[in-house]
Amino acid sequence: MSDGWRDTIAPSGDAWESLPPGPDLARALAAIDPHSLPDELRVSYLAAAHRLSGWTHMVESCALLAVSDAVEAATSSGPGTYSSYQASCVADEIAAALHIAPRTATAKVSGAEALVRQWPVLGRRVAEGALTVAQARVIAEGVAVLASDDVDDDRADSAIRGILRFACHLPPARLRERVARVVASIDPESAAKRRRRAARELTDVSLWREDDGMAFLAVRGPAPDILGLRDVIQARAEAMSAYAAPHDDRTAGQWRLAAFLAAFGLAPVGMPVVESPTAPTGAACAPGWLGPGSVRAEIRVVIDWDTLFGLSHNPGELEGYGPLDADLARALAADGEWVRWVTDPVGDFLIDEGRRRFPGARLARFLRSRESRCKHPGCGVRSSNCDADHLPGYSEGGATAARDMSPTCPRHNRHRGPGGWRIDTDVDLPRDPHGPPDPTWVSPLGRRYETLTPRVLHNDFIPRRT
């Protein structure tokens, strides 16, 4: 998705827009039936109700810790002592009161501890409505690795201060990526160690039973391996579907399963086998041939020059996944086939194709490399599965050039008009001729959202380490 976005609608003057979260805002919202409001104000009312939920969450968090402290005191064997038995007692007390499982109660207490005692600045932002609960949890979980007992410094606090400058505009999924980048920038050595330890301890293939005769097979491993596997399965599935009988109406998911099984000489139960055409001698990659070597996964890594040559240790970016520690990014870059990517007139990279209706392959590839996901607010489709879209539209004067185009998924490209969304073309701001357009999106209810797209390998206010 666009890295983030912000609502640019001016306040209407209604009480719920200016009141801070708390009892007064709760009374103001309770006095109004949202169905009686104009369309645009219904969105404003919803946003206020969501801010209020953060305040109530922090009230509940304080209550959880108060109960936890009381139970620990009542079950303690002596001053200053604590045991796992007390934690079980806390979980039982809260589970009984709230009609939840003890494990759920433990998780709620742990979350309250993080926002109230470990990172109170996050808790205050949630209570004020400046952060959502989900955003605060992502930050707390991400920076926790910097707060180790054997290191006495303020790395975690520094990371939080930097992250809070942009966190409120990002959805949790994109925020998680940015937090990981900040953490890896601050402590690249530990990031590499955690990645190696996780690869050793967590890599596995697991099976779960599901209802209705289904089962779930999960493969966990290093991100480059799993992304490569996924791309190979997808390519093989598309090839098998192309050579299937006309009446074979399997879904895309069923074809992916068939491709996965075919790699091990198996076929889906109850489904016809798709025969691969025989590969001619010396042509193992002939069209339709599904044998070894016919499908190649492309692992795309972005890394800055300083890090590539060991002068700095900024994290790289793995397309379709997110940040990688500097050691792994360097290893992948050294083992890959380089594609030149420049955004200035120094080279021959094509960034403008005049009045052509559709961009050529070179420009389209540049657009998908520059921005990793669909540009529409709230959409997370990877740019490799997106159209090269004119923003504003081609019929509205949008040029077939890097400055006027971004990846958008087929739904948000082809159905933008019927869906009621439009691009504001009246905004006239200074533009980077090679940078992405950052349009203002206008929703069907008239809300205006300004997209925020960081440059590749944006350092998020964290100084470079050399």
Distance, CA of 416 to CA of 183 (rounded, Å)? 37
Looking at residue 355, its pLDDT comes to 54
Determine, yes or no, domain membership for 429. Answer: yes
Distance, CA of 329 to CA of 307 (rounded, Å)? 9
Is 47 found in the same domain as 127? yes
Looking at residue 103, its pLDDT comes to 94
Q: Give the domain range for residue 402.
A: 361-452
Looking at residue 281, its pLDDT comes to 44
Is 162 found in the same domain as 145? yes
Q: Quote the number of domains for the chain.
A: 4
Looking at residue 2, its pLDDT comes to 53
Mean pLDDT per 10-residue section of the chain, whose length is 466 residues: 72 84 95 92 93 96 96 83 83 95 95 95 96 96 79 79 91 90 89 92 93 92 91 90 89 93 86 63 41 59 80 82 85 68 42 61 79 83 85 80 85 85 68 72 88 58 38
Is 41 found in the same domain as 179? yes
Looking at residue 343, its pLDDT comes to 37
Return the axis-axis angle of helices 120-128 and 39-75, rounded to nearest 10°: 140
- For the domain that residue 448 is a member of, what is the CATH number? 1.10.30
Q: Write out the H or E segment, with its range, that includes residue 407.
A: strand 405-408
Distance, CA of 230 to CA of 297 (rounded, Å)? 9
Is 315 found in the same domain as 294? no
Q: Is 287 helix (H, G, I), strand (E, B) or coil?
A: coil
Question: For the chain, how many helices (H) and strands (E)?
Answer: 16, 11
Looking at residue 219, its pLDDT comes to 95
Residue 401, both tokens:
């050039």
Alpha helices in 130-187 (DSSP H): 133-143, 155-163, 172-186
Is 305 found in the same domain as 388? no
Looking at residue 466, its pLDDT comes to 35
Determine, yes or no, domain membership for 341. Answer: no
Is 46 found in the same domain as 104? yes
Distance, CA of 449 to CA of 38 (rounded, Å)? 19
The count of other CB atoms within 10 Å of the CB of residue 129 is: 21
For 246, list phi and psi in degrees, rounded to 5. Answer: -60, -30
Is 145 found in the same domain as 284? no
Question: End of a domain among 171, 186, 201?
Answer: 186
Looking at residue 289, its pLDDT comes to 41
Is 307 found in the same domain as 288? no
Looking at residue 49, its pLDDT comes to 95
Residue 339, both tokens:
């594609």
Is 155 found in the same domain as 69? yes
Give one word for 397, left, alpha or beta, with left for phi > 0 and alpha for psi -120 to 50: left
